[in-house]
Amino acid sequence: MSDYMVKDASLAPEGRRLIEWAEAHMPVLRRIAERFRVEKPLEGVKVGCCLHVTKETAVLVRTLAAGGADIALCGSNPLSTQDEVAAALAEEGISVYAWRGQTKEEYYDCINRVLRKEPRLVHDDGADLITTLHSSSQELADSVICGFEETTTGVIRLKAMERDGVLRFPIIAVNDAKTKRLFDNRYGTGQSAVDGVIRATNILLAGKTVVVCGYGWVGRGIAMRARGLGANVIVTEVDPVKALEALMDGYRVMPLAEASRIGDVFITATGCTKVIRREHMEAMKDGAILANAGHFNVEIWIPDLEEISVRKRRVRRCVDEYLLRDGRRLYLLGEGRLVNLVCAEGHPPHVMDMSFANQALCAEYAIKNREKMENRVYLVPEEVDITVARLKLETMGVKIDELTEEQREYLESWRLGT
* DSSP 8-state secondary structure symbol assigned to residue 193: H
Distance CA 30, CA 24 (A): 8
- Residue 70 vs 84, nearer CB to its own copies: 84
Q: Which amino acid is at 405?
A: E
- Other CB atoms within a 10 A radius of the CB of residue 160 amount to 13
- Residue 43 vs 138, nearer CB to its own copies: 138
- Residue 46 vs 186, nearer CB to its own copies: 186
Nearest residue to 47 (alpha-carbon basis) of 383, 364, 377 = 364
Minimum distance from CB of 1 to its own copies (Å)? 29
Minimum distance from CB of 19 to its own copies (Å)? 11
Minimum distance from CB of 90 to its own copies (Å)? 21
Minimum distance from CB of 88 to its own copies (Å)? 14
* DSSP 8-state secondary structure symbol assigned to residue 297: T
- Residue 258 vs 304, nearer CB to its own copies: 258
Distance CA 373, CA 24 (A): 35
- Residue 79 vs 367, nearer CB to its own copies: 79
CB 193 within 8 A of CB 333: no
- Phi/psi of residue 29, nearest 5 degrees: -60, -35
Minimum distance from CB of 248 to its own copies (Å)? 4
β pairing state of 232-236 and 377-378: unpaired
* DSSP 8-state secondary structure symbol assigned to residue 185: I
CB 150 within 8 A of CB 51: yes
Residue 272 neighbours by CB under 8 Å, 6+ apart: 214, 294, 299
Distance CA 300, CA 350 (A): 29
Residue 241 neighbours by CB under 8 Å, 6+ apart: none
Minimum distance from CB of 380 to its own copies (Å)? 12
Minimum distance from CB of 129 to its own copies (Å)? 9
* DSSP 8-state secondary structure symbol assigned to residue 372: G
- Residue 227 vs 370, nearer CB to its own copies: 227
- Residue 8 vs 43, nearer CB to its own copies: 8
